[in-house]
C-alpha cells in the first residue's frame, strides 16, 4: 500500500514535469509563429530574427531539461559528455561542409 502511494506520487511529479515542458515548448513555438504572421505590421526583420533564434535556443534547452531529463548531476554526467561531443561533431561536419563549398565556389567561379 505504501509503495503504491509513493509510486503514484512519483508518477504525478513526472506527469507534471512533462506538462510544464509541453506548455513551455508550446509557448516558445506560438510566439515566433505569431510574429512571423504579423511581421509586416509591427516588427523589423532584425527583431524577428533575434526572437526566432532566441526562441529556438530556449526550446532546445527546454527539451533537454524536461523531456530528456539532462542536468548537471553526477548521474547524468556521461549523458551530458556524450551530448557535448555530439554537438561538437555536428558543428565540425557543418562548418567543414560550408568551408568546402565556399572554397569550391571561390576556385571554380573564375571559369
The pTM of the full predicted model, rounded to 2 decimals, is: 0.69
Read off the pLDDT of residues 19-76 as tens digits, 9 standing for 90 and up. 999 999 999 999 999 988 887 777 788 888 899 999 999 999 999 889 988 887 888 8
Structural domain range at position 52: 1-69
Pair (87, 48) in one structural domain: no
Pair (82, 107) in one structural domain: yes
Cβ atoms 48, 39 nearer than 8 A? yes
Cβ atoms 82, 74 nearer than 8 A? no
pLDDT band at 4 (very low <50, low <70, confident <90, very high): low
**CA–CA separation, 51 and 30 (whole Å):** 12
> Based on the structure, what is the number of domains in the chain?
2
Pair (103, 51) in one structural domain: no
Pair (53, 15) in one structural domain: yes
Pair (57, 78) in one structural domain: no
Pair (3, 35) in one structural domain: yes
Q: Name every residue whose Cβ is closer than 8 Å to that of residue 24 and which is 6 or more positions away in sequence.
A: 62, 66
Amino acid at each position: 500500500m505504501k509503495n503504491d502511494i509513493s509510486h503514484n506520487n512519483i508518477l504525478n511529479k513526472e506527469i507534471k514535469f512533462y506538462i510544464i515542458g509541453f506548455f513551455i515548448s508550446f509557448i516558445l513555438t506560438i510566439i515566433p509563429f505569431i510574429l512571423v504572421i504579423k511581421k509586416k505590421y509591427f516588427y523589423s526583420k532584425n527583431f524577428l530574427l533575434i526572437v526566432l533564434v532566441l526562441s529556438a535556443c530556449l526550446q532546445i534547452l527546454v527539451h533537454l531539461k524536461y523531456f530528456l531529463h539532462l542536468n548537471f548531476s553526477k548521474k547524468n554526467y556521461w549523458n551530458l559528455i556524450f551530448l557535448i561531443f555530439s554537438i561538437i561533431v555536428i558543428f565540425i561536419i557543418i562548418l567543414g561542409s560550408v568551408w568546402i563549398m565556399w572554397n569550391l565556389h571561390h576556385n571554380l567561379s573564375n571559369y
